[in-house]
Amino acid sequence: MDIKPVLYLLPGLLCDKDAWQYQQAALSDSIDVRIPDFRGMDSLRKMAEMVLADAPDRFSVAGHSMGGRVGLELIHMAPQRIENLILLSVGAHPVNDEECEQRSSLVEEAASIGMDRYAVSWANLMLGHQTEENRITRKCIETMARRQSLDDFIAHITAGLGRSDQSLYLAHIPISVLLIVGEKDTWSPVSQHEKIKLQIPDAQVAIVPEAGHMVILDQPEAVTCLLKDWIFK
């Protein structure tokens, strides 16, 4: 009996396994899909260590947004164990004052109105690119956010703001990397991915039409095809 390749799908900020629901359903016949739960974890390195403790000797990684940052930690910490690396809607730049202020304001708003109401504000941020709103994507974003506590949110903000300068990792990545970005992503735009590509020895950028930051929900079939083609290339 053939052993399926193992693929970790890493969720982003205020997201959980449902962010990857379409990819998990489509890929599970041919791939051992695993989606970790990062709720309450306040360090990207701790998230990466949790994956490494669970993973086989060799495995593939696809990380979305914050999950992409975890993917960068994984390739930095254990490059010999990663077979394929796909980063979606990601950044690699160091923390700056503007980001600190922005993230602090998000936490303040969530603390003042509660996570149930804040889920709507969060969905607005994630869907701000769209002229015609995707109601299914909105519902999923809001539902995932409502499953998180304020402490969970603070932990993930702390993880993001406490990260290393991951731009220093890029030149040392020893494998090919696929960067996937939504055409209309204003949170992590196409230009950001193009800059990352130039710093990695071997990387490709795939731009998904009519998708924003939540590309895995906006255009799930396109993303699934990209993942499958990359892993079985």
Quote the pLDDT of residue 175. 98
For residue 24, the Cα-to-chain-centroid distance in whole angstroms is: 15
pLDDT of residue 233: 81
Give the Cα separation of 207 and 56 in Å (integer): 31
What confidence score (pLDDT) does residue 131 get?
Answer: 52
Is residue 210 within 8 Å of 184, Cβ to Cβ? yes
Per-residue pLDDT at 134: 79
Helices (H), 114-214: 115-126, 135-146, 150-161, 190-199
Identify the pLDDT of residue 128: 66
Domain-wise residue ranges, the chain? 6-95+157-231
Pick the CATH number of 6-95+157-231 from 3.90.1150.10, 3.40.50.10490, 3.40.50.1820, 3.30.70.20: 3.40.50.1820
**Which residues are CB-neighbours of 112 under 8 A, at least 6 positions away?**
none
| Torsions phi, psi for 82 (to 5 deg) | -95, 120
Residue 135's pLDDT is: 86
Number of helices followed by number of strands (H, E) in the chain: 10, 6
Q: What is the DSSP letter of 172?
A: G
Q: How far is the C-alpha of 213 from the C-alpha of 205, rounded, in Å?
A: 15
Largest Cα span, the chain: 55
Q: Residue 32's pLDDT is what?
A: 97
Is the pTM higher than 0.85? The answer reads yes
What's the pLDDT at 129? 57
With a cut of 50, which residues of the chain have pLDDT below it?
A: none
Q: Could you tell me the two tokens for 227?
A: 């993942």
| Distance of alpha carbon 216 from alpha carbon 141, whole angstroms | 11
